[in-house]
Amino acid sequence: MKFPDPTSWQLAVAAVAEVTPRMRRIQLTAPALETFAYLPGQDVALGIRRDDGTTVRRRYTIRRFTPEARLLELDVVMHGDGPGMRWASAAAPGLPIDAIAPRGKITVADAEWHLFAGDATAVPGALAMMEALPADVAARAFLRVDDATERQPADLAGDKRISWRYEQTAPAGTADDLIAAVASADLPHGRGHAYLAGEASLVLALKAALLSRGWDADQVSAKAYWNRGRANADRGEPEQRAS
């Protein structure tokens, strides 16, 4: 798969809405979107200005792209503090924001069926890719959010199922329920492809669960999105933890 080189986009906020109590949808528009060849799973690296004039990048997956309206939607998990949070909290129609985009090297792979797993930050990408799959291709998603109010509807056709898991009902700080679900769920037959995203240690554990049930590493696209208790680096990626 050939991914396009990212370029600089001057975006503006078109609308802001709450999708769930903890997920804010920010619609962005730009003239550059007229020629954007969207691949589900791609993201944008927003350039967020600090008070001292320096820029920090924060990456958000494109939840939906509507070419005729030149609109892309980002769904941001509202989690506490950080430059991304401050931007999302203050977002209002008309505010400009620049981005390096499109980013990301993960999109729907060539496979007989597809598996998506991760935490709330994985939901936009998982739903975007699931919605892009043909009706006759099966998909399973295992998504861990705070509680049932964080579930989202998705426009899914055919044999596609989402198993929502809730942080509220599990022991604090663990995602064992999600990892166990991925390790032991009945899955469709045939060669699948998995897309794992979210907190770095969760992504590692989910990948290990799939490898231990016999998956090959090349069947798994895994991407750490953030580190618990540690801000992402200025380029928008989680820092590698020293081992």
Ligand X SMILES: Cc1cc2nc3c(=O)[nH]c(=O)nc-3n(C[C@H](O)[C@H](O)[C@H](O)COP(=O)(O)OP(=O)(O)OC[C@H]3O[C@@H](n4cnc5c(N)ncnc54)[C@H](O)[C@@H]3O)c2cc1C
Torsion of CA 38, 14, 57, 8, to 10 degrees: 60
In the list 73, 75, 150, 167, the residue contacting ligand X (rule: CB under 6 A) is 75
Q: CA-to-CA distance for 93 and 9, rounded, in angstroms?
A: 17
Cis? peptide before 21, omega within 30° of 0: no
Binding residues for ligand X, rule CB under 6 A, total 29
Is there binding between residue 107 and ligand X (CB under 6 A)? Answer: no
HEC assignment per residue over 105-173: CCCCCCCCEEEEEEEHHHHHHHHHHHHHCCCCCEEEEEEEECCHHHCCCCCCCCCEEEEEEEHHHCCCC
Is there binding between residue 80 and ligand X (CB under 6 A)? Answer: yes
CA 94 to chain centre: 25
Instruction: Rank residues 140 and 223 by Cβ distance to ligand X and give the closer one.
Output: 223
Q: For residue 196, count other CB atoms closer than 10 A to its CB.
A: 26
Is there binding between residue 116 and ligand X (CB under 6 A)? Answer: no
Angle 147-186-176 (CA atoms, 0-180°, nearest 5)? Answer: 40
Least distance in angstroms from the C-beta of 236 to ligand X: 6
Of the candidates 102, 120, 111, the residue with the CA atom closest to the CA atom of residue 40: 102
Instruction: Rank residues 135 and 242 by Cβ distance to ligand X and give the closer one.
Output: 242
Least distance in angstroms from the C-beta of 160 to ligand X: 20
Is residue 21 within 8 A of residue 41, CB to CB? The reply is no
Of residues 205-224, which lie at the interface with ligand X (CB under 6 A)? 223
In the list 25, 33, 58, 145, the residue contacting ligand X (rule: CB under 6 A) is 58
Is there binding between residue 230 and ligand X (CB under 6 A)? Answer: yes
In the shown chain, the binding pattern of residues 135 to 174 toward ligand X, with x for contact by CB under 6 A and - for none, equals ----------------------------------------
Is there binding between residue 191 and ligand X (CB under 6 A)? Answer: no
Which among 78-86, 92-100, 142-150, 151-159 is the span making contact with ligand X, rule CB under 6 A?
78-86
Least distance in angstroms from the C-beta of 43 to ligand X: 4
Q: CA-to-CA distance for 74 and 62, rounded, in angstroms?
A: 5
Of residues 28-47, which lie at the interface with ligand X (CB under 6 A)? 43
Instruction: Rank residues 138 and 194 by Cβ distance to ligand X and give the closer one.
Output: 194
In the list 19, 32, 85, 156, the residue contacting ligand X (rule: CB under 6 A) is 85
16, HSE (Cβ side, Cα atoms, 13 Å): 14
In the list 124, 130, 195, 210, the residue contacting ligand X (rule: CB under 6 A) is 124
Q: CA-to-CA distance for 76 and 110, rounded, in angstroms?
A: 28
List of residues contacting ligand X (CB under 6 A): 43, 58-61, 75-77, 79-85, 104, 121, 124, 223, 225-232, 236-237
